[in-house]
């Protein structure tokens, strides 16, 4: 996860591992990340370009970065949201 903290498939896989280990708290966290990653991927692929990302999508990206342990990325995205207002 340290090499690719934004890989939703890896997070989905890890959720399955934690489910099998009966570590439901960790399973839930990685499952939530996986679902959020899938939503972000779908919305980014539907956008014509990065300048067209909605505020809602950017907020999802901020939440995802925070949940992935990447506060510096979350802060940069937050700056972009503030500037776009």
CB 68 within 8 A of CB 61: no
Mean pLDDT of the chain, nearest integer: 90
- Look at residue 3 and tell me if it is in a domain: no
- Give the tens place of pLDDT for each residue, 59-81: 999 999 999 888 999 999 999 88
- Look at residue 59 and tell me if it is in a domain: yes
The tally of domains found in the chain comes to: 1
Whether residue 24 has pLDDT greater than 90 = yes
- Give the tens place of pLDDT for each residue, 25-49: 999 999 999 999 999 999 999 999 9
pLDDT level of residue 51 (50, 70, 90 thresholds): confident
> For residues 65 and 24, what is the distance between their CA atoms, to the nearest angstrom?
22
- Structural domain harbouring 74: 8-84
- Look at residue 2 and tell me if it is in a domain: no
- Look at residue 24 and tell me if it is in a domain: yes
Which of 32, 38, 76, 31 lies closest to 58, judged by CA? 76
> For residues 18 and 81, what is the distance between their CA atoms, to the nearest angstrom?
34
pTM of the model: 0.84
């Amino acid at each position: 996860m340290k090499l690719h903290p934004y890989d939703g498939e890896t997070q989905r896989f890890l959720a399955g591992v934690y489910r099998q280990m009966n570590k439901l708290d960790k399973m839930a966290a990685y499952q939530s990340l996986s679902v959020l990653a899938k939503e972000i991927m779908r919305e980014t692929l539907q956008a014509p370009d990065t300048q067209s990302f909605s505020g809602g999508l950017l907020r999802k990206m901020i939440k995802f970065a925070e949940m992935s342990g990447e506060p510096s990325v979350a802060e940069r995205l937050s700056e972009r949201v503030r500037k776009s207002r």
